[in-house]
């Protein structure tokens, strides 16, 4: 073994033997941790990276794919309840091509691919049914791509076309959702499913879509908004109105001197209103006019007579003096006809009530009537809807405010005490660390100083001739004489100076010579 390597192992063993019991325990634990880490790292590096081969597979397709992987001897993993097959990354493309050549997965031929199977002899009924099935499959696959949705099924009810538009019915859709384990669809996701389905079918409205989950809960009913959306809109409107009124009152009576409560009723379904109005414009033109006038004057039977059949005057009737006037007229004027169709969306305010309580001590010069007028303007008061706004000046109970202030003060004081304790603890820890570091530094300095102390040559024994021979054999020379007192130096002091010079030039050689000499004297 080379001398450098042997010296290194000798120093290492000496350092290990110098460890205390605690240091040896820590060293053993560190070596064990490093060994376990190396084992885990090697295991992780040797484990192949798995990549999805197919996702969202049906049970039959997953079984066929697994059989193919077993026949090829490829390792695999199943996740998502068997709907996802994972294989090593370097086998993905080969196995995918083999599965495609075998027609797997077969469920991939659903959707609009069903239209490729129609022949020229398909009837109109078969074409309609297959087209509807293709749309259902495509919508289901699109909905399954959403986060939290495991499987989805869509059923469409599309009415037959008719030439009578008044009898035409709107198409409807039913969506069944099965979520992942522990997942719950939010109202925004339900709205997205509803609008995605309605926008994919011609003449379908969002209110015509029903969404149901696997637990039997109706997330969106036909003719109504999604479950929870009405409450969400109501809460948002009440919070917005309350914040606007409260901000105004805080500027008038000061913060904490007023409270506002808003209760609103919002519609949860869309509606449509059609109204027609007729107006006659000023100086409107005449579209058609018919007029007839008859005037008879003088005496004789011409003026009056006996009426015969068909209201014809009979000649030689009773004669007499008289006058006859007749006038008939018909006039059709142009008029304005206005037909207005209003689509009323969900979330329209039907009625709201606003209650405001103000501290009578903070009311000051403001009157409740003026406050009520401001509140009505801020809340969008509409008397025709039946809105109600109530403002009252009352005495506020300050016990809770005092208790809250006391609790806040106590919390502040506790935080200050905690900060002081933390600072004191940190200072103590820092002081202990400094003391320990200082003691450790002193210990190592003393230990290094003891290692650098000169070797007492008296322990070598009285045989100085042998030491002289060893030093002379290595051709040692003292470059500068060691300053000595006026007294003549002894032989021991001279030998010590020579060994110091040797140690300065070649410390390892000097140490080896001294150890060998001590071993010989000891034996």
Mean pLDDT of the chain: 77
* Whether the Cβ atoms of residue 206 and residue 343 lie closer than 8 Å to each other: no
Burial of 194 (0-12, 13-18, 19+ CB in 10 A): buried
- Please give the C-alpha separations between residue 242 and each of 48, 124, 178, 318, 384, in angstroms, as whole numbers: 59, 59, 39, 91, 21
Question: Is pLDDT above 70 for 482?
Answer: no
What is the Cα gyration radius of the chain?
A: 53
Rounded Cα distance, 342 and 344, in Å: 6
Question: Is pLDDT above 60 for 308?
Answer: no
Characterize 112-125 residue by residue with b for buried, 16 or more Cβ atoms within 10 angstroms of its Cβ, and e for exposed.
Answer: eebeeeeeeeeeee
Residues 6+ apart with CB under 8 A from 419: none
pLDDT at residue 477, as a whole number: 43
Rounded Cα distance, 318 and 22, in Å: 153
Q: pLDDT (tens digit, 9 = 90+) per residue, 243-263? A: 999 999 988 888 888 899 999
* Whether the Cβ atoms of residue 209 and residue 194 lie closer than 8 Å to each other: yes
Mean pLDDT across the stretch 73-102? 85
* Whether the Cβ atoms of residue 77 and residue 50 lie closer than 8 Å to each other: yes
pLDDT at residue 473, as a whole number: 52
Q: pLDDT (tens digit, 9 = 90+) per residue, 310-321? A: 555 555 545 556
Question: Is pLDDT above 70 for 60?
Answer: yes
**pTM of this prediction?**
0.41
Listed residue (175, 165, 212, 169) closest to 195, CA to CA: 175
Rounded Cα distance, 174 and 197, in Å: 9
According to DSSP, the β-strands at 50-54 and 286-296 are unpaired
* Whether the Cβ atoms of residue 78 and residue 62 lie closer than 8 Å to each other: yes
Confidence of residue 486 (pLDDT cuts 50, 70, 90): very low
* Whether the Cβ atoms of residue 265 and residue 349 lie closer than 8 Å to each other: yes
Confidence of residue 460 (pLDDT cuts 50, 70, 90): very low
Q: pLDDT (tens digit, 9 = 90+) per residue, 96-132? A: 888 888 777 765 546 666 666 666 777 888 888 888 8
Q: pLDDT (tens digit, 9 = 90+) per residue, 173-201? A: 999 998 888 888 888 888 899 999 999 88
Mean pLDDT across the stretch 373-390? 91
Rounded Cα distance, 224 and 231, in Å: 12
Out of 152-156, 323-327, 377-381, pick the least confident: 323-327
Mean pLDDT across the stretch 379-401? 86
Q: What is the DSSP letter of 15?
A: H
* Whether the Cβ atoms of residue 318 and residue 247 lie closer than 8 Å to each other: no
**Tokens found for residue 332:** 């059709």
pLDDT at residue 480, as a whole number: 46
Residues 6+ apart with CB under 8 A from 446: none
Mean pLDDT across the stretch 71-82? 85
Residues 6+ apart with CB under 8 A from 129: none
Listed residue (479, 476, 517, 482) closest to 497, CA to CA: 482
Characterize 36-60 residue by residue with b for buried, 16 or more Cβ atoms within 10 angstroms of its Cβ, and e for exposed.
Answer: eeeeeeeeeeeeeebeebbebbeee
Q: pLDDT (tens digit, 9 = 90+) per residue, 136-174? A: 888 988 898 888 888 888 999 988 877 776 677 889 999
């Amino acid at each position: 073994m080379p001398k450098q390597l042997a010296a290194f192992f000798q120093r290492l063993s000496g350092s290990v033997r110098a460890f205390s019991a605690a240091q040896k325990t820590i060293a053993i634990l560190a070596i064990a941790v490093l060994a376990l880490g190396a084992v885990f790292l090697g295991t992780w590096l040797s484990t192949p990276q798995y990549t999805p081969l197919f996702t969202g597979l049906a049970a039959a397709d997953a079984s066929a794919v697994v059989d193919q992987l077993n026949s090829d001897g490829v390792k695999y993993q199943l996740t998502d309840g068997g709907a996802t097959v994972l294989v090593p990354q370097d086998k993905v493309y080969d196995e995918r091509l083999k599965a495609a050549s075998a027609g797997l997965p077969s469920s991939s031929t659903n959707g609009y691919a069903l239209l490729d199977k129609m022949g020229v002899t398909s009837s109109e009924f078969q074409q309609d049914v297959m087209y509807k099935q293709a749309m259902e499959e495509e919508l289901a696959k699109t909905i399954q791509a959403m986060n939290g949705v495991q499987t989805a099924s869509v059923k469409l009810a599309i009415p037959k076309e008719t030439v009578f538009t008044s009898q035409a019915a709107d198409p409807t859709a039913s969506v069944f959702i099965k979520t992942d384990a522990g997942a719950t669809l939010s109202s925004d996701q339900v709205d997205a499913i509803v609008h995605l389905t309605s926008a994919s079918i011609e003449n379908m409205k969002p209110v015509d879509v029903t969404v149901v989950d696997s637990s039997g809960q109706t997330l969106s009913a036909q003719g109504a908004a999604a479950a929870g959306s009405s409450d969400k809109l109501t809460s948002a409107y009440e919070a917005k109105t309350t914040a606007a009124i409260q901000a105004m009152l805080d500027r008038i009576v000061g913060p904490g001197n007023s409270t506002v409560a808003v209760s609103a009723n919002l519609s949860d379904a869309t509606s449509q209103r059609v109204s027609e109005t007729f107006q006659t414009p000023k100086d409107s033109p005449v579209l058609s006019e018919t007029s007839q006038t008859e005037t008879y004057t003088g005496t004789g039977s011409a003026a009056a007579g006996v009426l015969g059949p068909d209201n014809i005057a009979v000649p030689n009737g009773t004669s007499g003096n008289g006058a006859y006037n007749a006038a008939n007229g018909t006039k059709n004027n142009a008029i304005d006809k206005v037909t207005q169709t209003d689509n009323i969306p969900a979330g329209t305010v039907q009625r709201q009530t606003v209650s405001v309580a103000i501290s009578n001590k903070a009311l000051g010069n403001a009157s409740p009537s003026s406050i009520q007028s401001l509140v009505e303007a801020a809340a969008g008061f509409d008397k025709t809807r039946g809105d109600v706004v109530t403002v009252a000046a009352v005495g506020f109970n300050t016990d809770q405010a005092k208790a809250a202030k006391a609790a806040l003060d106590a919390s502040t004081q506790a935080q200050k005490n905690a900060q002081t304790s933390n600072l004191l603890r940190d200072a103590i820890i820092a002081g202990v660390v400094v003391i320990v570091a200082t003691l450790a530094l002193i210990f190592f300095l003393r230990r290094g100083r003891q290692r650098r102390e000169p070797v007492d040559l008296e322990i070598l024994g009285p045989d100085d001739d042998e030491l002289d021979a060893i030093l002379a054999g290595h051709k040692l020379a003292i470059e500068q004489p060691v300053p000595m007192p006026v007294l003549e130096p002894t032989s021991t002091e001279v030998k010590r100076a020579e060994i110091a010079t040797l140690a300065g030039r070649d410390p390892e050689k000097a140490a080896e010579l001294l150890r060998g000499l001590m071993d010989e004297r000891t034996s």
